[in-house]
Structure 1
Amino acid sequence: MPHAFHPCALIPIYNHKDTIAATVKALRAHGLPVLIVDDGSDEATRAVLATLAAPGVQLLRLPRNGGKGRAITAGMIAARDTGYSHALQIDADGQHDVTDVPRFLAEGRAHPATLICGQPIYDHSVPRARLYGRYVTHVCVWLETLSFMLRDSMCGYRLYPLDVTCAEIDRAPLPARMDFDTEVAVRLMWRGVPVRNLPTRVIYPQNGLSHFHMLHDNLRISAMHTRLLLGMLPRAPMLLWRKHKKRGAAWAA
């Protein structure tokens, strides 16, 4: 018997003291419980987070900064253990359009076993290097999954089914830093989790605080793609069989 749809919002934060309050307020306006994971933020950010304590807002503090992926992993496990069925991952820096929350929730309610991924619609604020660099990852992910199903694996605005995601976390640890978003999506697809893409506006706020380190994070992402491409090879027959089976079902419908 399927579980009830009981989602929460999951926000990893590291020193985004100027934007977190507005993000939490907007999420609560949609009636969504909020779980904030403080990834070892500074004193000023901790002070702001202390003011957000309220019914429907839960704060999980990590003792030291371990990276976005580690914070999200801790948050997902805590959300599952609290009894939530799904976690809506959203950034703390104001990049993501909170008005799309009802659309994500509607997709998750209609397709509860599916990974709902934000497909970014950018405006002029996006750095050109970041925009073009994403296409390298897109091509790698299409090879790693033998599928064009996932339109953007780097967007951190997505709705996770927690049971299967935490099962994958239990099977093998996920990356601790910026390579998390891509690897978790690929590994969930390897498990057979369906994907739906939801176009959503993404901005880069003026004077926004980014924790993406061009050299170190790009090296991590390169190593991740090497690992995932090698991991795809023994899975290729299964992935191709699934693709063939799905195409056959579509023809029979």
Structure 2
Amino acid sequence: MTCIPIIIPSLDPDGRLITLIKQLRSHKNEAMQQIIVVNDGSSEKYDTIFSYIENTFKVTVLKHATNFGKGRALKTAINYVLQHVPEALGLITIDSDGQHTVTDMLKCTNAFLENPKNLILGTRVFNHDVPLRSKFGNVLTAKFMQITTGIKISDTQTGLRVIPKAYFQALLNMQGDRFEFEMTMILAAADNHIVIVEVPIKTIYLDDNQSSHFRVIYDSLSIYAVFIKYIFGAISSFAVDIIIFMILIALLNKLSVHAILIASIVSRLSSSLVNYYINKKVVFQNNNRLSFVSYYTLVLIQMMLSTGIVILLHQRWSPINLTVLKVITDAGLFVISYHVQKHLIFKGRQL
């Protein structure tokens, strides 16, 4: 028999959680008979709700002593499924605040059953009826992800997902305990050979989405943290590169091909040490010794490209300041370098 447990992370729930459980139980689908609710540190006054669904609807309730975050709640449930439901083909995650319908959940489940190795995302359409803070945050995140990683997902923060069993262990080892975990799940999918499939669902926001526990500033920064850290590392090393380049060009006192070549090599080797350390220890957190060799292979290729392009641009547009040409060239190589480091050099451990 196919088994796909339903996971519901919950913090300080109201009657909508009970309504959702009732609706789930009304569907006699044997594959989804196991419902697991994670009480993520709700205050004691909500114990009656959790006790009610546990006793009335035979729901498994897992409890955190304090609020650890949605990501940790999902990890707790994943670990439980691995330990106690070994026959599970995957698991379904659905929010407890009424934003997802059982009908849409079944659509996502059917899409998953067509290929149980895929990660299914129930994606919403953010039109004019969506609360501004939700629309702005989701659209901005989706566009930012597409620009920085090339991954095109229309709804990066959807809580309605069907996760294949093949992805369980990787998710347990993944960083992030709050809302950023859902973003990381998408970012790391390709590295774990997981195909993402989007299934359109209804867009439902109740009471202007006031029940959401998403903290706009803190959680947004957590979601963008990996990009922010990489950009910080890139800017730091970029600044070192440009400053040393400018100093050497001034010292050499002439704009010959040899001067550009020497300045480019010395400045890039110096800045690459800064960039390698930051990316290895802070951004990608990878301790693979081979990453050093791979990284400096990339540095060599990037240095040759940068030097060659700057020389060609200077020969064609000599009136333009040499440093400006270098800034433009290296900015164009920035995104390519990020993808190579993420998917090849520092791939050993997920973001």
What is the aligned length? 232
CA offsets, 1:68-110, max 9 Å, x none? 1111111111122222221111101111122212211211111
Answer 1 or 2: which has greater strand percent.
1
Q: Paired residue for 1:7?
A: 4
Q: Paired residue for 2:150?
A: 146
Q: Tell me, what secondary structure is at the counterpart of 2:179? A: coil
2:165 counterpart of 1:155? no
Q: Paired residue for 2:278?
A: none
**8 A Cα contact 1:15 1:42, kept in partner:** yes
- Name which of structure 1's ranges 192-201 and 28-37 shifts more when overlaid on structure 2: 28-37
Q: Tell me, what secondary structure is at the counterpart of 1:177? A: coil
Alignment of 1:1-253 (within 5 A): 5-30=2-27, 31=29, 32=32, 33-54=34-55, 56-83=58-85, 84-122=88-126, 125-148=129-152, 150-164=153-167, 166-170=168-172, 172-206=173-207, 208-226=210-228, 231=284, 232-236=339-343
Q: Give the AA of the match of 2:155.
A: D
Q: Give the AA of the match of 1:68.
A: K
Q: Give the AA of the match of 1:131.
A: K
Q: Give the AA of the match of 1:64.
A: T
Q: Tell me, what secondary structure is at the counterpart of 2:66? A: coil
TM-score (norm 2): 0.61
Q: Give the AA of the match of 1:29.
A: S
CA distance in 2, matches of 1:99, 1:200: 9
Superposition deviation, residue 123 in structure 1: 6.3
Kindly tell me: are residues 56 and 143 of structure 1, through their superposed partners in 2, closer, same or farther at Cα, counting changes over 3 Å?
farther
Q: Give the AA of the match of 2:201.
A: T
- Structure of higher RCO (CA pairs closer than 8 Å, 6+ residues apart): 1
Q: Give the AA of the match of 2:103.
A: T
- Name which of structure 1's ranges 59-68 and 222-231 shifts more when overlaid on structure 2: 222-231
CA distance in 1, matches of 2:148, 2:122: 19
Percent identity reads: 23
Kindly tell me: are residues 225 and 154 of structure 1, through their superposed partners in 2, closer, same or farther at Cα, counting changes over 3 Å?
farther
State the superposition RMSD in angstroms.
2.3
Q: Tell me, what secondary structure is at the counterpart of 1:221? A: helix
**8 A Cα contact 2:191 2:343, kept in partner:** no
Q: Give the AA of the match of 1:216.
A: Y
Which protein shows a greater Rg? Answer: 2
* Gapped regions of structure 1 (runs ≥ 5): 239-253
- Name which of structure 1's ranges 129-138 and 180-189 shifts more when overlaid on structure 2: 129-138
TM-score (norm 1): 0.83
Kindly tell me: are residues 222 and 235 of structure 1, through their superposed partners in 2, closer, same or farther at Cα, counting changes over 3 Å?
closer
CA distance in 2, matches of 1:115, 1:56: 27
CA distance in 1, matches of 2:58, 2:73: 19
CA offsets, 1:171-190, max 9 Å, x none? x3331111111111111222
CA distance in 1, matches of 2:226, 2:97: 25
**8 A Cα contact 1:70 1:176, kept in partner:** yes
Q: Tell me, what secondary structure is at the counterpart of 1:193? A: coil
* Gapped regions of structure 2 (runs ≥ 5): 232-282, 285-338, 346-351
Q: Give the AA of the match of 1:158.
A: R
CA distance in 2, matches of 1:192, 1:177: 24
Answer 1 or 2: which has greater helix percent.
2
Kindly tell me: are residues 111 and 127 of structure 1, through their superposed partners in 2, closer, same or farther at Cα, counting changes over 3 Å?
same
Superposition deviation, residue 225 in structure 1: 3.0
